[in-house]
Structure 1
């Protein structure tokens, strides 16, 4: 290798030394988030003279960031992961993003209009509700506190089979009654995603549930892909948005932290205590992209505990984790595996992580909106939407003409949990059959009766 410098470069160096100036050192840092194929040569370029697999940030802050208290750093996947080739280096540092401010009323109205829900937001518990008066018709519920989780249902439980009426007119469906096409589903979802501030999100419409298609949108934050912060919209075979869930708060940039490269992060994930195999940030891989479809299982089975799984893709991005009990997007590596979906682990240098308990702690109780009920003798089953990291109990108070049912949410903080809603049921045993009595929720609103078989028990209380 020829190590001699050109004569002009040597003269420039000498002149810079005499004048007291130094030539600027070029540091090329790619900030675009893209899929990096292992062994494919693609990588972030950064000064890499730091030890232990770390890369040196192009510009270091004069003060160290505060310790980051990630509530759970166990590995929720349970397998041992090995790279099938060289892993990318990544940037030298990256910021966390908090849940931001609470949701404003005008945001709720804008989303409701895009969903076709009319009315004025009504304060209800910890948020707002539009529509769904007396439990019937389209209903949008939004939590006021950040990250502003919301759920939408066009029909009360058991009433979405579309038997008659103008909403059941033939739509863009296949000749055999197949789900709506991908293009039609994405077209139906687009106005809702715009209203939710997700214009630039990565979308995936490959998931099918029966006769419905799900459009999932993962926001891109400062050029980085995210996981665990998804919005999901269910599109009927008539091309109509019939259900949805998501987050309305805009993530806010926080402190920047030194981060590890993909190889060191993978080693930390393998060395971490194994969790209880709950669903963590991740999901199912789709063609040409990392997906985070958390509404259902991947087509392939999850790896057995202790199994060895090959990693063949790595993306530097942001994954949702609770930090001191609050949802936060944490700089992480997202690893694409062969047959086991996408897994992720925080890339923060461990020296900047604060000690925290890996065990969930009980949080205050919250009332839950009930969407429908079914009565069979003295058994009363109620349906409602709730999060995946909470427990729910149901109680009933009876009088001569009314049965008042209360469902209480018992949240568990400190868990790695997808921020989505799921329909649950709980059954309570009454002193006497309903027998014509009004069934109402804790707020006094009448609960609609669901069609037989519509409420599938998820567990008993």
Structure 2
């Protein structure tokens, strides 16, 4: 193993790093415009938004065209963020502005994450434009990330874990790996391109398969040579938010397609790439006032959703953008796993870095209410007094009571870029939060740093 950061292995981060316009500053008023639009969408009101920003497309020649190409993705992400963060009365209002949401194929267990940092996955584990245009069902955040108490009720990682009744039985569990090379060929990419309405022979260049111009002027497909063979498709000609470069006002046009149409379009894409569309779970959303509808699909492995899913945005005229992973997971065999009790003990072992997966907002609101903090700031008239001799030093430690354990699978990126699905435990605490830790026994873990 080496010391590379996970972002170096993440295809989205690598694409962003390749963006020649990544460091371009937004125009005056851009931020205010996006925030105003997102807030208005969340409240069901119409509003104007500013111009767009560049994309992660590897070879962009025209910044103005690229801005127009990416505009709707910023608005989608901003609207979703508003639906999560603009909360009346301090409640957790996820999905408050969505309609027509449905899970078609059942209710499999959600993905487990071993990644640190916000944005390790989206709400349902589906990669969406700009890494995550979905609301976080499981906002994966490191227990030591330094988040504020408002966001993370467990403080800064000083935690004491308690549990009882956990199983001491060890065992084995199947691990998987994504077989990216099997799908990395002109036939698979060409079939996907044809399903998207693209003509032309796929070319292997600049670290990926490409079909269509990569300058944001026409429909294009990019398939990266990463461990999951992730792809991204975009059709600027169907973009309902498309604006002229010098436009000061730009309103989206069109009516959002129905739920069945969006899901059927996504199922067709999945089938075109040689995947079994019946082995996915599906859902669809539309945001109030949006001329497009989104659909998501999560591959199921051992009854659990994985976080390498598919995403599609559909307008009246067809598919505006789509993304996903072409590689299928294949079995690596059975691995020895530790018991629930031993995995619980790993929560306090710095080698395993316990991850907070879901944060109990309701419990945090109750905690805030109990603190009886003043609702109005009163300016001080003098600095704090010097503490008395022998004053105890504040060092808050959170007591976390574990009440349940679940064995599942979590994505793990290897130093060579390959991607595994490894056995992992998800622990639920008494406040409703969840924590995750790898379940594989020490004998099958490589602790080397080089």
TM-score, normalization by structure 1: 0.45
Greater radius of gyration (CA): 1
Write 1 or 2 for the structure with the bigger share of strand.
Answer: 1
RCO higher in 1 or 2 (8 Å CA, sep ≥ 6)?
2
Write 1 or 2 for the structure with the bigger share of helix.
Answer: 2
TM-score, normalization by structure 2: 0.46
